[in-house]
Amino acid sequence: MRNREKKNKRDNGEDIDIYNFEQKLKNAYSVLERASFEKEDKELIRAFADHLRAIGVSNKRFSKYIFHLKVIGENFPTSFDETQHKDIKRLTAAIDLM
């Protein structure tokens, strides 16, 4: 089963999202829209999100990626388009220190 989201069945056989990942996904998009970085970076994150949807990534992982990219976008010194290899290395070093 590719989509590993925990679900239960209702009496009529319909799936129940017991962890409310649909709502978490809506919240992730809402938070992204209110983020304090460039519109172009938000569009890149949405394009990446479309790619994740196309390859069947679960809602749980999908919303996690959006939240994390939002935090990175707000704290990164350049836009995603202008990012260089050295910027990524600096970011990963800072994350490793956390």
Whole-number Å distance between alpha carbons of 75 and 62: 20
Q: What is the pLDDT at residue 33?
A: 87
Residue at token pair 């304090």: 36
Q: What is the pLDDT at residue 8?
A: 55
Q: What is the pLDDT at residue 47?
A: 92
Q: What is the pLDDT at residue 1?
A: 46
Please name the helix (run of DSSP H) or strand (run of DSSP E) that holds residue 3, with its range, or none: none
Give the list of residues 6+ apart from residue 9 with CB closer than 8 angstroms, or none: 15, 16
Q: What is the pLDDT at residue 55?
A: 93
Which residues of the chain are modeled with pLDDT < 50? 1, 5
Beta strand 15-17 with 7-9 is antiparallel
Residue from 74, 88, 75 nearest 31 by CA: 74
The H-assigned helical ranges of the chain are 21-34, 39-54, 59-75, 85-97
Whole-number Å distance between alpha carbons of 51 and 55: 6
